[in-house]
């Protein structure tokens, strides 16, 4: 998990406090409709106990971040993240809606506005609260299989109909040892009977200890031909504070070694060639390559050395921005598979209409993209990070079938 500065945390708490003060001000227009003074006081007291308690918990956790066990630390952060989002956004919407209605009221009479406007404001805040709760308790682990077929002129005829399962961003620490949940995803994957399984990074949130107990679970993944993986930005331990460089390196080596335990080939700026009746395809994997502040460990030139003339290449690269910067136009790589964005775990997917706030940071953030005869697929990820919910961005398993055009 990333560690935010104390100044950033204070700004967050001030924003929460400001919204709570405004919410409390407008809440009085609703509570005054109650005849019971006891009930009015009870609501007011509970409101401020929750508000002060949340702010105190956020500041206390930041101050004690380094002395809490990493497992408990991660649990507390994600829990507070969920509570903060579920509280802050509905209150903010409530304040905005009720303020607009009161200060630009041309519809209701003065008498009607005392009742109708507070009710509209309350509904406007309560609806997103229910939606956020739904994303946390209902859709977080509702795995969805996305199926697509892509036609290539360059695909060797003997590989026509090749089936690939693409998964990414497991973030196993977020599952908190609830192995049975991921078992459901593994059964879905194995039922697809893929030739290849490709995993495009972020196995953990930060630490190798997150992998405890997962070997027996992930080893169940079956592919007819092979299972391959690359590293994501979270797999290097760059977001933790380490007592020494040696400990960080040991953590990193443990994460890399875990792939051997689950029978995945980890591609570190390298390539594997598959031959079938005299025809070949190349599976290329690079280490994480992202735009700053993300580090660029990936070395595509090194990975492609000696296979420039191979007619069909599949690239595994965690960050989709790599495709824009180094892959398309500069190489003849037919298909690139990426993850990283999670689709921000929130957005809208209605048939061909897709939207998420993450699109203002990444040009390619979810789904299939094409540039002439080159394709990029960005998965929405299988796990989660930070906010413990998924709204309109269900955890994804992707089945890609390759066909000769």
Task: Kindly report, residue by residue over 42-53, the tens digit of the pLDDT.
Answer: 999 999 999 999
Superfamily of domain 144-404: Metallo-dependent phosphatases (3.60.21.10)
Residue 286 has pLDDT above 70, yes or no: yes
Q: Which of 364, 400, 356, 398 is nearest to 169 (CA)?
A: 398
| Mean pLDDT along residues 28-32 | 88
DSSP string, 104-150: T--SS-HHHHHHHHHHHHHHHHHHHHHHHHHHHHTSTT--EEEEEEE
Run of H or E residues at 228 = strand 226-229
Q: Which of 262, 282, 260, 261 is nearest to 271 (CA)?
A: 282
Task: Kindly report, residue by residue over 59-109, the tens digit of the pLDDT.
Answer: 998 887 766 667 777 788 888 999 999 999 999 999 999 888 888 876 666
Within 262-346, residue ranges assigned H as helices are 300-304, 321-322
Q: Is the model more confident about 197 or about 64?
A: 197
Please give the structure tokens belonging to residue 233. Answer: 């930005």
- Where residue 349 falls among pLDDT bands split at 50, 70, 90? confident
Q: What is the mean pLDDT of the chain?
A: 93
58-62, 180-184, 246-250: range with lowest mean pLDDT = 58-62
pLDDT of residue 1: 46
Residue 3 has pLDDT above 80, yes or no: no
Residue 385 has pLDDT above 80, yes or no: yes
Task: Kindly report, residue by residue over 163-178, the tens digit of the pLDDT.
Answer: 999 999 999 999 989 9
Around Cβ 250, how many Cβ atoms within 10 Å? 14
Give me the residue label for tokens 């394709």: 375
pLDDT of residue 133: 94
Domain ranges in the chain are 6-137, 144-404
Q: Residue 116 in contact with residue 272, Cβ under 8 Å?
A: no
Residues 6+ apart with CB under 8 A from 162: 155, 195, 196, 281, 401, 402
Run of H or E residues at 31 = helix 6-31
């Amino acid at each position: 998990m990333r560690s935010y500065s104390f100044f950033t945390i204070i700004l967050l708490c001030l924003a929460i406090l400001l919204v709570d003060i405004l919410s409390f001000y407008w809440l009085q227009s609703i509570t005054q409709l109650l005849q019971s003074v006891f009930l009015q006081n009870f609501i007011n007291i509970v409101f401020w106990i929750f508000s002060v308690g949340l702010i105190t918990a956020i500041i206390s956790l930041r101050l004690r971040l380094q002395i809490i066990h990493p497992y408990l630390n991660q649990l507390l952060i994600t829990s507070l993240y969920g509570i903060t989002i579920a509280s802050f956004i509905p209150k903010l919407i409530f304040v905005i809606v009720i303020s607009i209605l009161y200060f630009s009221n041309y519809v209701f009479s003065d008498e009607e506005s005392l009742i109708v406007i507070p009710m509209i404001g309350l509904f406007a805040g309560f609806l997103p609260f229910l939606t956020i709760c739904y994303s946390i308790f209902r859709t977080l682990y509702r795995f969805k299989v996305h199926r697509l077929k892509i036609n290539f002129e360059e695909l060797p005829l003997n590989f026509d109909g090749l089936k690939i399962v693409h998964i990414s961003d497991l973030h196993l620490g977020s599952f908190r040892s609830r192995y049975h949940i991921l078992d459901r995803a593994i059964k879905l994957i194995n039922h697809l009977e893929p030739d290849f399984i490709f995993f495009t990074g972020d196995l953990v949130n930060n630490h190798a200890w997150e992998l405890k107990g997962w070997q027996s679970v992930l080893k169940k993944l079956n592919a007819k031909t092979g299972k391959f993986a690359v590293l994501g930005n979270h797999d290097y331990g760059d977001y933790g504070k380490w007592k020494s460089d040696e400990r960080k390196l040991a953590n990193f080596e443990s994460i890399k070694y875990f792939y051997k335990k689950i029978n995945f080939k980890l591609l570190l700026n390298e390539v594997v060639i598959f031959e079938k009746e005299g025809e070949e395809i190349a599976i290329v994997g690079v280490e994480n390559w992202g735009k700053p502040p993300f580090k660029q460990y990936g070395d595509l030139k090194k990975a492609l050395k000696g296979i420039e003339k191979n007619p069909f290449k599949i690239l595994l690269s965690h960050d989709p921005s790599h495709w824009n910067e180094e892959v398309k136009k500069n190489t003849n790589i037919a298909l690139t598979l990426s993850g990283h964005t999670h689709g921000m775990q929130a957005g809208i997917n209605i048939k061909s209409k897709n939207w998420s706030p993450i699109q203002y940071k990444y040009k390619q953030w979810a789904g299939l993209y094409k540039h002439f005869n080159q394709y990029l697929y960005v998965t929405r990820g299988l796990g989660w990070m930070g906010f413990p919910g998924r709204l309109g961005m269900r955890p994804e398993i992707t089945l890609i079938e390759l066909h000769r055009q």
